[in-house]
């Protein structure tokens, strides 16, 4: 099997699975219980929080464990909006965000908030000046993803943070689900107030994630009950999953030294795809993440290409897994100014540190066969 859909989810690392099994078996007490088993779980949870904060170079109380990127983004956006609506009801984001941000914003619009969806250039990048010009006295939040989950564009996160340092009452949220451990980002230096990370994108387990919440940032809780996670996310903590995710974070950080190798493999994929006559590249040549390559096969339905490759035991995708079953057109590509023909025929290859050049060569060979065959049928 050749798996090239790592932006949708990654295969859990064996060390992560081992940690999960050990904790689930030996530390099954409720962390909120006052007996010994509960206290053992609570200590383990505290250590996991300390390790996560050290990896992110932030303070331990600033880590809120969640079920993943979608929940983290919702807590950040809705939590800020509902807590600070008396000061203003204006939110700024971009037209290429993940569905969990876009739909959260749409939901807030139904509650009376105003959202500005900023345009992007042909590479999918937002302008810092556009953000500056969009700010009003009512603006309370700016939310911009670090790495685009479809085409891999890296946004100017630090530059936006520098701009927003001049507006201390505006909160800054960054969806870093695709960027963590692949594209360097210092949360403190970038002046970020809230930052989302997902476990299953870094060889952790599904249903795990975290939200960085800067000290002093007030959020309205979306889940009331037992008061867990600093009263922001009530509910018994998934200690085995959390421990596994933090281990995945550590392992991912350790492999950052291999970023150049991953980037070289990505460049090789792009170079080879650019030689194919049926292909249009969508991922920017510069300023994009080292693990994502997005391209279009105009005139062909992407699901047909995907299933043809699947028959050859090769797995790729179309766009975000959270939107791949929705309308044919990619909203990201439309926002980048692509034609309907390009925007409706997008395909995504997303690699991991485990991906080899031999696997890529097989993929390219089989893709060529598939495209030639399908093109003949279409003609």
Q: Which residues are catalytic?
A: 322
d(Cα 162, Cα 181) in Å, to the nearest integer? 22
Cβ contact 172:160 at 8 Å: yes
How many residues can be counted in the chain?
Answer: 379
Longest dimension (CA), the chain: 71
d(Cα 60, Cα 141) in Å, to the nearest integer? 24
| Alpha carbon of residue 241 to chain centroid | 18
Cβ contact 121:156 at 8 Å: no
Helix residue ranges, H only, the chain: 14-26, 36-56, 69-84, 99-110, 128-134, 157-164, 239-254, 259-274, 302-310, 331-335, 340-343, 357-378
Residue with tokens 């792009």: 270
Crossing angle of helices 259-274 and 357-378, in 10° steps, is 20
């Amino acid at each position: 099997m050749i798996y090239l859909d790592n932006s949708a989810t990654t295969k859990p690392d064996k060390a992560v699975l081992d940690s999960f099994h050990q904790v689930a078996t030996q530390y099954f007490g409720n962390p909120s219980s006052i007996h010994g088993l509960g206290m053992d779980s609570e200590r383990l949870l505290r250590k996991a929080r300390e390790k996560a904060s050290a990896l992110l170079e932030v303070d331990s109380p600033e880590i809120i464990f969640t079920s993943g990127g979608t929940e983290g983004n919702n807590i950040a956006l809705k939590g800020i909006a509902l807590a600070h609506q008396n000061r203003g009801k204006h939110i700024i984001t971009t037209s290429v965000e993940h569905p969990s941000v876009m739909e959260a914003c749409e939901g807030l619009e139904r509650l009376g908030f105003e959202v500005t969806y900023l345009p992007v250039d042909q590479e999918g990048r937002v302008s810092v000046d556009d953000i500056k010009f969009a700010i009003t006295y009512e603006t309370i939040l700016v939310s911009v993803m670090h790495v685009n989950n479809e085409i891999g564009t890296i946004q100017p996160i630090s530059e936006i943070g520098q701009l927003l340092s001049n507006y201390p009452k505006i909160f800054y949220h960054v969806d870093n689900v695709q960027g963590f451990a692949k594209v360097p980002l210092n949360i403190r230096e970038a002046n970020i107030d809230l930052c989302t990370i997902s476990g299953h994108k870094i060889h952790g387990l599904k249903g795990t994630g975290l939200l960085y919440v800067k000290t002093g940032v007030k959020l309205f809780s979306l889940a009331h009950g037992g008061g867990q996670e600093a009263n922001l996310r009530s509910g018994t903590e998934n200690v085995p999953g959390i421990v596994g995710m933090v281990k995945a974070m550590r392992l991912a950080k350790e492999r950052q030294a291999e970023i150049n190798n991953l980037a070289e493999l990505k460049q090789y994929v792009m170079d080879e795809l650019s030689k194919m006559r049926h292909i249009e590249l969508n991922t920017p040549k510069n300023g994009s993440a080292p693990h994502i390559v997005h391209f279009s096969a105009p005139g062909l339905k992407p699901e047909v290409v995907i299933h043809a490759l699947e028959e050859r035991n090769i797995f790729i995708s179309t766009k975000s897994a959270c939107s791949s079953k929705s309308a044919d057109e990619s909203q990201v590509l439309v926002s980048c100014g692509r034609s309907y023909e390009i925007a409706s025929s997008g395909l995504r290859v997303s690699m991991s540190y485990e991906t080899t050049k031999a696997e890529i060569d097989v993929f390219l060979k089989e893709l060529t066969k598939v495209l030639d065959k399908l093109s003949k049928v279409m003609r």
